[in-house]
Structure 1
Amino acid sequence: MNTESHTYVLVPGAWHGGWVWRPVAERLRAAGHRAVCLTLPGLGDGDDPTGLRLGDAVDHVVREVERLNLRSVTLVGHSWGGYPMTGAAHRLRGTVSNVIYYSAFVPRQGVSLAEENPDGGAFLRGLIDESPDQAIHPNLGYVQGIFMQGADEGAQRLVADLLTPQPGDYMLDALDVPSVTEIGISARYILSGEDQALPRPGSEFAARLGLEPVMVPGPHDGMLTHPDEVAKAILNG
């Protein structure tokens, strides 16, 4: 486990805000590290998701790291958060020393999240086209079916109430950059053992980085159901 102090910037996935990382962040801080939980544009309580593009999310990660004057940063991204995290890592070379994907997409250059989802991509586009604000609105079914299946129903309902609409172009835009390992940034891949949200096996995403996944228990939102194990995996790099 790391014994020196590190700075972790935690990037949430689709529909989630920085709140989803708080249990893990508290454990990282208790271990003597700095932890910053980001909420990306359009995903805060009451935010308007209209018109936001993936580049806006990337810009936000970069701005926050620079605004806080952070150094020797480890970026940690969950699920769709692998997209803005990867884009930001390219622009923060020299500041970001490590990147950790947690049950996350590892983007391929020029390929959007919708294109990574061969069965669900058309469904996502349909939801976006039908939405007056061009966003994908969450519901309790997401939480019970793929984010926190098997968790206490009260916790599931609470999380569902906290989810916010996901700006549609966050799912349709692609990054024009190679993997972080190709530019010399160290990477790791942590995977929840009961993940049912990723459209491809997590091992396939890890293989894009030349890695084997580090397995932790829990569903896709394991940072809420198994924060001790997720925090330990992050610290054991």
Structure 2
Amino acid sequence: MDFVFVPGAWHGGWAWHPVARRLASAGHRAVALTMPGMSVGDDQRELRLADAVAHLFAEIERRDLTEVVLVGHSWGGIPIAGAARRLGARLHAIAMVSAFVPRSGESMIEALGAEVGGYLRTQIESSPNHSISLNFDAVRESLMQDEPEALQRLLYELLVPQPGGYMLDALDVVDFAELDVPMTYLLAEHDRALAAPGAELAARLGTEPVLVPGTHEAIITHADEVAKALQASVET
């Protein structure tokens, strides 16, 4: 299988490296992508969600990947939903790990609700490069609660601002049923950062969540368990 990993908001492909290395050691091809604008020094002002979708699709074609298992974390579920419809016979399966599963016409900001969404819109509008930054309190309280502070601060130092367009834009059409491929939803047991209950998000894929240990950042802190669950999902 060719596993293609898409990171969540504020993260780069580095967040998937622990899981990707384990799957590569098991004999799979593993590609962890960083979306446009998600490296230090990038200009995020003109980036839109369509750019992330196009980048994901183009990288799969450029690398001539087949039997593709698209794996998304958090916000990464949105570009996966956009690119999957374009992959045709290349697509083998979809797996979400504590990911947002979008609905047609629903942006990430809208899914987060009026209060949080309004705050984020204001931040985007006031940012010189049309981006959203994350503060350390969010890492400590929502993304990686109960983990050692040194690890929380390391994660915080690795994060970069998220392009505002990635959060404001929505996919016109989302229809996972039409893809007719296996779907898996892995849910971290102690996730506090999801925009909706994990069972509801999994149901949008037509499945039930499979629990893995950890917080929203389980792909880093519990890579063994996540990798094993992903491998099991394509072997059944």
Q: TM-score, normalised by structure 1?
A: 0.95
Structure with the higher fraction of residues in helix conformation: 2
1:92 to 76, 81, 87: 87
Contiguous gaps of at least 5 residues in structure 1? 1-5
Residues 1:140 and 2:136 are matched in the alignment: yes
Mapped pair 1:49 → 2:44: yes
Partner-residue secondary structure (3-state), 1:48: coil
Q: Give the superposed CA RMSD.
A: 1.0
Match of 2:112 in 1: 117
Q: Offset at 1:128?
A: 0.8
1:80–1:105 CA contact under 8 A, matched in 2: yes
Aligned residue among 196, 217, 223 for 1:221: 217
1:112 CA drift (Å): 0.7
Aligned length: 232
Out of 56-65 and 169-178, give the one that drifted further.
Answer: 169-178
Residues 186-201 of structure 1 mapped to structure 2, 5 A cutoff: 186-201=182-197
**2:190 maps to amino acid:** E
2: CA distance, partners of 1:37 / 1:44? 14
Inter-partner Cα distance in structure 1 for 2:124 and 2:16: 27
Q: What amino acid is the match of 2:41?
A: G
Distance 2:51 2:154 in 1: 28
Tell me by how many angstroms 1:45 deviates. Answer: 2.2
CA distance in 1, matches of 2:174, 2:17: 30
1:220 shift after superposition: 0.3
Letter in 2 for 1:151: E
CA–CA distance in structure 2, aligned partners of residues 203 and 125 of structure 1: 27
Q: CA–CA distance in 2 between the matches of 1:57 and 1:142?
A: 24
1:167 aligns with 2:163: yes
Verify the 8 A CA contact 1:62 1:92 in the aligned structure 2.
Answer: yes
Specify the SS of the correspondent of 2:227: helix
CA deviations 1:161-214 (Å, max 9, x no partner) are 110000011011000122222332321111001000112111111111221100
- Which segments of structure 1 move beyond 3 Å, counting only runs of 4 or more? none
* Matches of 1:94 and 1:32, distance apart in 2: 22
Cα distance in 1 for residues equivalent to 2:100 and 2:9: 11
Residues of 1 paired with 2:223 and 2:72: CA distance? 15
State the match for 1:14 in structure 2. 9
Q: Is the 8 A contact 1:181 1:187 kept in 2?
A: no
Partner of 2:63: 68
SS in 1 for 2:76: helix
Out of 92, 101, 110, the residue aligned to residue 96 of structure 2 is 101
Partners in 2 of 1:93 and 1:109 — Cα distance?
A: 20
Asked whether 1:129 is paired with 2:125, we answer yes
Post-superposition offset of 1:29: 1.0
TM-score in terms of structure 2 length: 0.96
Tell me, in whole angstroms, the C-alpha distance in 2 between the residues paired with 1:181 and 1:106. Answer: 13
Q: Are the equivalent residues in 2 in contact too, given 1:76–1:102 (CA < 8 A)?
A: yes
What percent identity do the matched residue pairs reach?
53
Aligned AA (2:61): E
Q: Which amino acid aligns with 2:18?
A: P
